[in-house]
Amino acid sequence: MRVSYASASDVGKVRSANQDAVYADESTFLVADGMGGHAGGGVASSTAVKVIVDLLRQGEDPMVAIQEANRAIFERGMKDSSLAGMGTTLTLAKTDGTDGALNVFNIGDSRAYLLRQGRLRKLTNDHTFVQELVDAGSITVEQASTHHARHVLTRALGVDPEVEVDRFFVPIEGGDTLLICSDGLVNEVAEGRIAELLADLEPSEAVKKLVEEANANGGNDNISVVVARFHRGDGDDHLVSVAAGHKESRATVSGVATAPKGSAPTGLVVSDIPSPIPKSAVERPMVFRPVLRLLGFVAVLVLFFLAIVVAIALYVNHSYYVGVAGKRVAIYQGRIGGLLWFKPHVVQDTDLTVSKLTPAFRSQVTHGVPESSFADARSFVANMKYQLSAFAHTGSSVK
Ligand code: MN
């Protein structure tokens, strides 16, 4: 499997800075969309790319590389108060070396798509508050696309000491096209249009056109795209590798195109994307996860408490004892002296007068005699009656 690819990252028409970062080579494709503070977002996304790409080059496992990047961003945010709370999305696709599959990793709301025979399929799930509402059936996908909280993430790289990463294994076929993009693309360009452009254009043209259309439709956020097309066999299609789209270079997609061994170089690819108009930055909201976690914790506490109450109620309802009600012996349901707000109550009176019992029985019932069931309590009473009558017959005095 051979691959041609291109990437681009653009500040858009509204933000003052590009906090996205992209990376692409022949086996690794990555988009990171930073958030948190004026500087934090850009630091988080570029740290993610640097740490991950370095480790992958050293042959490290992608999952390990992602956790390392998470730790690096988290620790830097802890040390530097101006970067506190920074984080980034991460969508990474890596060919697995077996020629025909991608491992896709995702945290946050950047997305990976696969175009196969004209049909665009989303490979990743967004980790956003609105996606949770959609999954719960509270709102529709259409409502989610315009929801005021649609940018609020439930998961991001670098905001906690450890991060949960979604992982997808994606078999690929010759002709498949991979797209990785930040939300700045999908919020501006409909998926149907994205599919058209990917199907019609070479990767280097597709990334330019996608950024262009996102800007034309508003460019409200930074726009980052990586497009990779996979070619089966040694056909005569050109392999064009375009290293492009540096985050500092606002509007240029540029780079040297390299050719496969044996064929002629295909030349330089330069973009003609118009320069953006910087406006006041609209910061991405902080990650929503601490709030969700707190709510989850409270829910667990409440359930735990309810479980205890139910357990106590069951326990109390299955407890009986023989005690004293007024001057007579009675059978109670509940625990002697009560338990929490569960007070014992008389379930059966008897005709036994306490003052007529033997001293031993009198002492016992005054303190209460616990029994494991109503039947056991009744047998205890019956036993007392029997012994009293036995005393009476032998003429023993009952004090
Ligand atoms: Mn974004």
Tens digit of each residue's pLDDT (9 = 90 or more) over 47-105: 999 999 999 999 999 999 999 999 999 999 999 999 988 999 999 999 977 668 999 99
Distances (CA, A) of 17 to 22, 41, 238, 294: 15, 10, 35, 32
Q: What is the pLDDT, as a whole number, of residue 284?
A: 56
Q: Compute, in angstroms, the gap from residue 221 CA to the centroid of ligand 1.
A: 6
44 CA to middle of ligand 1, Å?
A: 13
Report the separation in Å between the CA atom of 210 and the middle of ligand 1, taken as the mean of its atom positions.
15
Q: Is the pLDDT of residue 360 over 90?
A: no
Of 26-35, 86-95, 260-269, least confident by mean pLDDT is 260-269
pLDDT at 52: 98
Distance 35 CA to ligand 1 centre (A): 8
Higher pLDDT, 264 or 65: 65
Compute, in angstroms, the gap from residue 223 CA to the centroid of ligand 1: 7
| 102 Cα–ligand 1 center, Å | 24
Q: How far apart are CA 5 and CA 242, in angstroms?
A: 6
**Contact in structure between 34 and 88 (CB atoms under 8 Å):** yes
Tokens of 107: 């945290």
DSSP 242-297: E----SSSSS--EEEEE--TTS----EEE--PPPP------PPPPPSHHHHHHHHH
Lowest-confidence segment of 82-96, 99-113, 186-200, 273-287 by average pLDDT? 273-287
pLDDT of residue 223 exceeding 80: yes
Look at the chain and count its residues.
399
Ligand 1 geometric centre to CA of 284 (Å): 7
Q: For tokens 């697995």, what's the residue?
A: 96
Q: Measured in angstroms, how far is the CA atom of residue 111 from the centroid of ligand 1?
A: 11
Centre of ligand 1 to C-alpha 346, Å, is 68
- How far, in Å, from the CA of 96 to the mean position of ligand 1? 28
* Ligand 1 centroid, distance to 293 Cα (angstroms): 23
Average pLDDT, the chain: 84
**Per-residue model confidence (pLDDT) at position 389:** 81
**Percent of the chain with pLDDT strictly greater than 70:** 83
Task: Report the phi/psi class of residue 145: left, alpha or beta, with left for phi > 0 and alpha for psi in -120 to 50.
Answer: alpha
- CA 182–ligand 1 middle distance (angstroms): 6
- Which whole number is the average pLDDT over 298-305? 90
Structure tokens at 195: 């599919």
Give the pLDDT score at 289: 62
Stronger pLDDT, 254 or 312, i.e. the higher one = 312
How remote is the CA of residue 335 from the centroid of ligand 1, in Å?
61
Report the sign of the C-alpha dihedral through residues 191, 196, 202, 204, in that order. negative
Whole-number Å distance, alpha carbon 81 to ligand 1 midpoint, is 23
Question: Residue 272 pLDDT more than 50?
Answer: no
* 203-216 and 191-200 helices, crossing angle to 10°: 150
Please give the distance, rounded to the nearest whole angstrom, from the Cα atom of residue 289 to the centre of ligand 1: 18
| Contact (Cβ atoms closer than 8 angstroms) between residue 248 and residue 202 | no
CA dist 190 to 10, 184, 331, Å? 18, 11, 75
